[in-house]
Amino acid sequence: MKQVFLVFLGGGLGSALRYVISKPLNLLLQNFFFGTFLVNIIGCLLIGVILGLSSKNNFLSANNTLFLATGFCGGFTTFSAFAFEKHSLLKNSELFHFSVYTIASVVAGVIAVAIGLWLSRLGD
């Protein structure tokens, strides 16, 4: 139960920080969500550092890693976990799986949003 609370707490903090950073920055450029882009890239950098430190001489405990990587980075951006998984596929020279996973995730995600928007309008 402690681990679930750590993920919950980290996720809440990450989500709040994502909102504070991305909300004003998304207004800067038309047709480009600069705040969201920046948060996604920062999240990728952070999850790389966190997971790198956690595997390096047990620098971070399992609970710290849960709080920071799964919780905070997961709340800050799920893109960070997506990027880390893609990196793992590249590291293992699984180019086919990397390509399929990347393309399928982006295409399916956009289609899922469109379907969700369509479903939300059914009662209108």
Name the most confidently modeled range: 29-33, 52-56, 106-110: 106-110
| Binding-site residue ranges for Na(+) | 74, 77
Mean residue pLDDT of the chain comes to 90
Separation CA 48–CA 56 (nearest Å): 12
Q: What mean pLDDT comes out for the span 62-77?
A: 94
Q: What is the pTM of this model?
A: 0.77
Residue 108 structural domain: 93-124
Contact by Cβ (8 Å): 60, 68: yes
Share of the chain above pLDDT 90, in %: 57
102 and 77 co-located in one domain: no
The token pair that represents 71 in the structure block: 């919780």
Residue 69 falls inside a structural domain = yes
Q: What mean pLDDT comes out for the span 2-25?
A: 96
The predicted structure's pLDDT at residue 32: 80
9 and 29 co-located in one domain: yes
Q: What mean pLDDT comes out for the span 54-74?
A: 90
Q: Which of 60, 30, 26 is nearest to 40 (CA)?
A: 26
77 and 97 co-located in one domain: no
| Binding-site residue ranges | 74, 77
20 and 67 co-located in one domain: yes
40 and 10 co-located in one domain: yes
75 and 100 co-located in one domain: no
